[in-house]
Amino acid sequence: MNATLVIEWVVKSLVIILVLTGGFAYTTLYERKVLARMQVRRGPNRAGPLGILQPVADGIKLIFKEELTPHNADKFIFTVAPVITVVPALVITAVVPWGREISLFGRTFTLYLSNVNVAVLYILSVTSISVYGITLAGWSSNNKYATLGGVRATAQMISYELALGCAYIGPILIVGSMSLVDIVEAQAGVWFIFLQPVAFLVYFLASLAEVNRAPFDMPEAEQELTAGYHTEYSGMKFALFFMAEYIKMIAVAMIGVSLFLGGYLGPGIDRFPILGPVYLFIKVAVWLFVIIWVRATLPRIRYDRLMALGWKVMFPLALLSVMITALVLLFVES
């Protein structure tokens, strides 16, 4: 443990955070563009060529907005809640590998921040923390719609977390390790989406519910709850909630790609390790496209159906998938 090594990890952390915040900004543009095209519109095209400066304009606008706090809100929690929401969203990505080792300036770098051997458990626990931020935000606003939105978010997230947790078990069973680096490397032959189709489907749907995306965006159903838990938020604090949602979207896409779609692996990765992040980027972009596509296609489902789907369909299905995987593995080995 020497100074250069610490500097290396600080630089890596900064790079990841910059990539994620930049990725957040451009995911918003990506979403608006794709949605617009699916609705036969053009989308933002005024700020810069093809609208590529739109996120910058939005960011500058949000920084110079007045921030309002309701006079009867719980002021401290009201300020801390966006922080509690956004930090876990960023921190999840610490264990996702971006590639193998590369040589740069005569030194060897690993293209991941940390190869924790309980990575999947870490992801599961850190994602749960951001629920607190949303619930506290809803509660501290002292607004009935916001409170309802926050409570709904909690109930929804805990319902889908079970299915999500079971979906992780399939790849772990096959690999025998919880480290994401090991899981990705084990997919050099065949991607786990082909070995674990049910787990993949459950993961995809449950992750949509975890990040509150359509058709599971109940906590912010604007027709019935105004804007849900962030009704009272404005300016930068609102931007932080927005950022948390999109960064979580990117994070679940990265984790899903690593678990089921071969992560950073792709043709030619052995000869050119620098291609790793490129493959990861392409796969994440495709995953995000599917998420946006789902939003453009499906209407929001009713709340009681959402709970029923989580408990009565997804969770038993995921458990069944785990059992079948275990039995098949037993037969393959013997």
Q: Which of 45/177 has CB closer to other proteins?
A: 177
316 interacts with other proteins by CB under 8 A? yes
190 interacts with other proteins by CB under 8 A? no
Stretch that binds other proteins, among 27-35, 36-44, 71-79, 282-290 (CB under 8 A): 71-79
Q: How far is CA 206 from the centre of its chain?
A: 11
**H or E element: which one contains 109?**
strand 107-110
Which of 38, 56, 158, 190 touches other proteins (CB under 8 A)? 158
21 interacts with other proteins by CB under 8 A? yes
In 3-state terms, what secondary structure has residue 143?
coil
Interatomic CA distance for residues 244 and 248, integer angstroms: 6
Which of 197, 312, 313, 328 touches other proteins (CB under 8 A)? 312
Interatomic CA distance for residues 267 and 50, integer angstroms: 32
Which of 38, 50, 56, 63 touches other proteins (CB under 8 A)? 63
Q: Which of 1/40 has CB closer to other proteins?
A: 1
What residues contact 142, with CB distance under 8 A and at least 6 apart? 70, 72, 73, 74
* Size of site (CB under 8 A) for other proteins: 86
Stretch that binds other proteins, among 199-207, 226-234, 251-259, 262-270 (CB under 8 A): 226-234
DSSP designation for 231: T
258: left (phi over 0), alpha (psi -120 to 50) or beta: alpha
Interatomic CA distance for residues 323 and 170, integer angstroms: 9
Least Å distance, CB 61 to other proteins, is: 11
DSSP designation for 100: S
Least Å distance, CB 41 to other proteins, is: 29
Cis peptide, bond prior to residue 215, ω within 30 of zero: yes
Interatomic CA distance for residues 72 and 37, integer angstroms: 43
Q: Which of 152/283 has CB closer to other proteins?
A: 152
| Cα three-residue angle 30-34-38, rounded to 5 degrees | 170
240 interacts with other proteins by CB under 8 A? yes
3 interacts with other proteins by CB under 8 A? no
What residues contact 187, with CB distance under 8 A and at least 6 apart? 262, 263, 265
Tokens of 125: 């626990």
**H or E element: which one contains 148?**
helix 144-175
209 interacts with other proteins by CB under 8 A? no
Which of 46, 71, 107, 271 touches other proteins (CB under 8 A)? 71
Q: Which of 292/309 has CB closer to other proteins?
A: 309
Which of 28, 141, 196, 258 touches other proteins (CB under 8 A)? 141
Q: How far is CA 244 from the centre of its chain?
A: 9
Interatomic CA distance for residues 245 and 240, integer angstroms: 9
Interatomic CA distance for residues 182 and 177, integer angstroms: 7
Stretch that binds other proteins, among 162-170, 201-209, 276-284, 287-295 (CB under 8 A): 162-170
Which of 29, 62, 251, 252 touches other proteins (CB under 8 A)? 62
235 interacts with other proteins by CB under 8 A? yes
Q: Which of residues 286-305 bind other proteins (CB under 8 A)?
A: 303-304
Which of 136, 239, 255, 288 touches other proteins (CB under 8 A)? 239
In 3-state terms, what secondary structure has residue 215?
coil
Least Å distance, CB 51 to other proteins, is: 23
95 interacts with other proteins by CB under 8 A? yes
109 interacts with other proteins by CB under 8 A? no
Amino acid symbol at 46? R
Which of 36, 43, 109, 177 touches other proteins (CB under 8 A)? 177
Least Å distance, CB 103 to other proteins, is: 20
